[in-house]
């Protein structure tokens, strides 16, 4: 959805390097400790046998006294041996656990390799139903499209969708909860496949941004700047601090800016726990202002925002000339769109031209 493979790869490698460095330091601390512990354990056994040896050699004792002495101290020596063997078997168990983990990783890689061909075949079949035409005057065109949920193939969300959205038009997708509003966006972004029909798309993936209702904010001591430019990397960043601050001012996110300690200060908190849902939705909208795509797909992006903030969001989009497709049931949303696609949840739909609506 976010096309953030480069970002995720870089952050994963950074965190792995950090873990490796910590493990090296941990090893530098534990190796001397284990050596000293093992040395003292061995010294303890040597001292024990020395204590048993001298009374026998030095003192002129008869055989009965020697047997009694050895019997008395035998269990103590046995306990020392038992402790040593226990440590040995703990080490062996740790090796076996590591081997089991490596085996599971190997099985996963083998499974992924064996299923790659099957995935490639599915994508090839999907390509026959989805067409790309960048020269088209249409954002998308559904021609007798049917689709369903992946987990419930028997439940058809749409049975025969014929709908076209021209470039420059904004679409509102409405319907009760569970009617398939989010599914409609997943079909456009090809996260879900269509069962039959043809979908023609006129805007490429790199010109489209998706903002889900629950936006994704990666963790790992990231800065506010990194969250805004996500999924781009800092190395590819070419927007000045002045423009960044304008984004923050336009969306009234000064409190977020202060909590983050500025644009370039890494934070150690979870973004979803520190900020309200409305602030998170507005922060995800800052990504749209930064990337400036041709099309943005918004899945209830203003559901937690006030009417004034919602109006400001759409005014910014219109000012930048960005087309958008929104989902939601707020009556106020109708004023910002040209068409409304009402989903009934039983495979049927209704298209309303909002420009002809006298109430808007």
Asked if residue 57 and residue 104 are part of one domain, the reply reads yes
pLDDT at residue 342 greater than cutoff 90: yes
Task: Report pLDDT digits (tens) over 105-130.
Answer: 888 888 877 776 665 555 555 557 88
Report yes or no: 134 and 204 within 8 Å, Cβ to Cβ.
yes
pLDDT at residue 102 greater than cutoff 60: yes
Residues 136 and 175 in one domain: yes
Question: Based on the domain organization, do 79 and 176 belong to the same domain?
Answer: no
Q: Are residues 76 and 145 in the same domain?
A: no
Query: What total of structural domains would you count in the chain?
Result: 2
Residues 171 and 200 both lie in one domain: yes
Final residue of a structural domain among 90, 110, 127 = 127
Q: Which residue has the tokens 């983990």?
A: 101
Which of these, 255, 261, 266, 258, lies nearest to 223 by C-alpha position?
Answer: 266
Q: Do 144 and 24 have their domain in common?
A: no
User: What is the value of pTM for the model shown?
Assistant: 0.69
Degrees, nearest 5: CA angle 173-331-185: 15
Give yes or no: residues 300 and 153 share one domain: yes
Of residues 338 and 134, more confidence is placed in: 338
* DSSP bridge pairs for 340: 172, 352
* pLDDT of 10 over the 80 cut: no
Decide which of 90, 108, 127 is a domain's last residue: 127
Structural domain containing residue 117: 5-127
Question: Do residue 110 and residue 151 come from a single domain?
Answer: no
Of the chain, the percentage scoring pLDDT greater than 90 comes to 27
Out of 100, 127, 154, a domain closes at 127
Q: How confident is the model at residue 21 (pLDDT cuts 50, 70, 90)?
A: confident
Residues 135, 249, single domain; the answer is yes
Asked if 175 and 253 sit in the same domain, the reply is yes
> Residue 346 phi/psi, 5° resolution?
-110, 20
Task: Give the pLDDT confidence score for residue 326 in this predicted structure.
Answer: 94
User: Quick one: pLDDT at residue 144?
Assistant: 92
The angle formed by the CA atoms of residues 94, 95 and 98, to the nearest 5 degrees, is 85
Q: Are 263 and 224 contacting, i.e. CB atoms less than 8 angstroms apart? A: yes
Q: What is the pLDDT of residues 71-84, one digit of tens each?
A: 666 566 656 666 76
Pair of tokens at residue 29:
């601390």
Q: HEC string of the chain?
A: CCCCHHHHHHHHHHHHHHHHHHHHHHHHHHHHHHHHHHHHHHHHHHHHHHHHHHHHHHCCCCHHHHHHHHHHHHHHHHHHHHHHHHHHHHHHHHHHHHHHHHHHHHHHHHHHHHHHHHHHHHHHHHHCCEEECCCCCEEEEEEEEEEECCCCCCCEEEEEEEEEEECCCCEEEECCCCCCHHHHHHHHCCCCCCCEEEEEECCCHHHEEEECCCCCCCCCCCCHHHHHHCCCCHHHCCCCHHHHHHHHHHCCCHHHHHHCCCCCCCCCCCHHHHCCHHHHHHHHHHHHHHHCCCEEEEECCCCCCCHHHHHHHHHHHHHHCCEEEEECCCHHHHHHCCEEEEECCCECEEEEEHHHCCCC
Tokens of 339: 């068409």
- For the chain, the average pLDDT equals 81
Q: List the CATH number of the domain containing 226.
A: 3.40.50.300
Q: Average pLDDT of 43-49?
A: 63
Q: 280: which residues sit within 8 A by CB, 6+ positions away? A: 215, 217, 271, 272
pLDDT at 121: 59
Judgement on whether residues 123 and 135 belong to the same structural domain of the protein: no
Please check whether residues 206 and 163 belong to one and the same domain: yes
The token pair at 63 is 């055989």
Task: Report how far residue 327's alpha carbon sits from residue 192's, in angstroms, rounded to the nearest whole number.
Answer: 17
């Amino acid at each position: 959805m976010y096309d953030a493979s480069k970002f995720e790869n870089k952050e994963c490698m950074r965190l792995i390097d950090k873990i490796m460095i910590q493990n090296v330091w941990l090893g530098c601390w534990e190796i001397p400790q284990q050596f000293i512990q093992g040395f003292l354990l061995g010294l303890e056994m040597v001292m024990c046998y020395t204590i048993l040896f001298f009374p026998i050699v030095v003192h002129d004792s008869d055989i009965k006294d020697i047997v009694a002495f050895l019997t008395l101290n035998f269990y103590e020596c046995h306990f020392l041996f038992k402790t040593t063997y226990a440590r040995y078997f703990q080490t062996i168990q740790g090796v076996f656990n590591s081997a089991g983990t490596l085996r599971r990783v190997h099985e996963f890689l083998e499974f992924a390799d064996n299923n790659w061909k099957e995935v490639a075949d599915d994508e090839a079949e999907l390509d026959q139903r989805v067409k790309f035409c960048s020269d088209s005057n249409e954002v998308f065109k559904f021609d007798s499209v049917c689709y369903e949920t992946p987990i419930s193939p028997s439940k058809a969300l749409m049975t025969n969708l014929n709908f076209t959205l021209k470039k420059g038009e904004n679409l509102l997708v409405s319907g009760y909860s569970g009617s398939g509003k989010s599914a409609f966006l997943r079909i456009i972004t090809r996260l879900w496949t269509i069962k039959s029909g043809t979908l023609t798309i006129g805007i490429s993936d790199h010109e489209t941004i998706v903002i889900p209702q629950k936006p994704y904010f990666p963790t790992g001591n990231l800065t506010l700047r990194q969250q805004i430019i996500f999924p781009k990397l800092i190395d590819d960043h070419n927007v000045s601090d002045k423009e960044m601050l304008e984004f923050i001012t336009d969306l009234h996110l000064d409190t977020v800016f202060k909590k983050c300690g500025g644009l370039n200060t890494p934070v150690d908190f979870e973004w979803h726990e520190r900020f309200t849902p409305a602030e998170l939705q507005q922060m995800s909208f800052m990504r749209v202002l930064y990337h400036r795509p041709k099309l943005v797909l918004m899945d209830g992006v203003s559901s937690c925002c006030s009417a004034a903030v919602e109006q400001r969001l759409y005014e910014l989009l219109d000012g930048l000339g960005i087309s958008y497709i929104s989902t939601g049931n707020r009556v106020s949303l109708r004023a910002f769109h040209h068409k409304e696609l009402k989903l009934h949840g039983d495979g049927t739909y209704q298209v309303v031209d909002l420009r002809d609506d006298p109430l808007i």
